[in-house]
Amino acid sequence: MVLAAPVDAREDLATTRRRRRSRESGAEVGKAGPLVYTVLALGAALSVFPLYFMFVVATRSNDAIGGLPPVLSPGGQLAENVQRLLDNADAHFLRGLANSVLVSASVTLAVVLFSTLAGFAFAKLPFRGSNVLLLTIIATMAIPLQLGLIPLYILMVKLGWVGDLKAVIVPFLVSGFGVFMMRQYSASAVSDELIEAARVDGCSTLRIYWNVVLPAVRPAAAVLGLFTFMQTWNDFLWPYSVLNQDQPTVQLSLATLSSGYYSDFAQIFAGTALATLPLLLVFVLFGRQIIGGIMEGALKA
């Protein structure tokens, strides 16, 4: 009891110092000079310009590509280009768009679920051989997809999944990176005392995961889900290997548009603009939560 007050006083002093350093660092950021803002504005403009020019070409005819100086203002032919895209029987664009939504959503949900479960088990449920198993999972991250492409394709042939969406969903339901990431985050975000308190209250392991662990690791799970969705949506090599033109993803549909003797760039860029909309929608819906999760992790550190 005699030592309680000095310990609390030291903790309060340390907290006050951290807050003061945080305010000072925020003040220093607020005092950034014009050169910093100029560089940031230039970087933002260079990042956004390709997307803007894609939209410009999607709203004009093919003459906009080769025009000198290049046309930088949107036109009025977007509806016509989109209609020609949808009427293209070889591309199956709408089917490819729907397939990509289904594949990306399924893989993302599975990766987040299994990664949070495995991360919780490795971090808070000690069992024999856990370190060896975790090292094995981490070792799988060193094997590139290109190295396992042929064996994986042979397995899909044996299972009869070639040309089926199962071939691009099932092999990627679990991610070694996701398991490792959630293990590291669970180890720091979930305290052992909280888990023991839940066990004393009579919670089962699954209930502890659902009511205690999952809310605590939600920021990291949101970041993992975003990265997984983007990676799956933009994947081209593996879907190109196991799918066909009758059951494409959106990336294969775009590749079909540009594989002929004549490239209709207005149609291609219209399809690319439509294929980018789901990614932008994910950022709009979940961007604030993801950024908040990253900032929360930074403040905890």
CA nearest neighbour of 99 among 224, 245, 258: 245
Task: With cut-offs at 50, 70 and 90, classify the pLDDT of residue 286.
Answer: confident
Tell me the per-residue pLDDT of 108-141, one tens digit each, with 9 for 90 and over. Answer: 999 999 999 999 999 999 889 889 999 999 998 8
The separation between CA 261 and the C-alpha centre of its own chain, rounded to angstroms, equals 35
Task: Please classify residue 250 by burial: count the beta carbons closer than 10 Å to its beta carbon, then call 0-12 exposed, 13-18 middle and 19+ buried.
Answer: buried
**CATH fold group of domain 93-300:** MetI-like fold (1.10.3720)
pLDDT, residue 2, reads 44
pLDDT, residue 289, reads 65
Q: How many residues are there in the chain?
A: 301
Tell me the per-residue pLDDT of 16-31, one tens digit each, with 9 for 90 and over. Answer: 666 666 565 555 545 6
Per-domain residue ranges for the chain? 32-76, 93-300
Task: With cut-offs at 50, 70 and 90, classify the pLDDT of residue 301.
Answer: very low
Whose tokens are 């260079």? That residue is 46
CA nearest neighbour of 74 among 86, 61, 62, 57: 57
pLDDT, residue 7, reads 47
Amino acid identity, position 135:
L
Amino acid identity, position 228:
T
* Mean per-residue pLDDT of the chain: 84
Rounded CA separation 154/156 (Å):
5
- Predicted model pTM: 0.81
Q: Mean of the pLDDT values across residues 147-166? A: 92
CA nearest neighbour of 50 among 293, 276, 292: 276
Q: Mean of the pLDDT values across residues 73-99? A: 87
Rounded CA separation 121/103 (Å):
27
End-to-end CA distance of the chain: 30
pLDDT, residue 293, reads 59
Tell me the per-residue pLDDT of 192-212, one tens digit each, with 9 for 90 and over. Answer: 898 999 999 888 999 999 999
The DSSP line for 54-114 is HHHHHTS-THHHH-SSPP-S--S-HHHHHHHHHH-TTT-HHHHHHHHHHHHHHHHHHHHHH
Task: With cut-offs at 50, 70 and 90, classify the pLDDT of residue 144.
Answer: confident
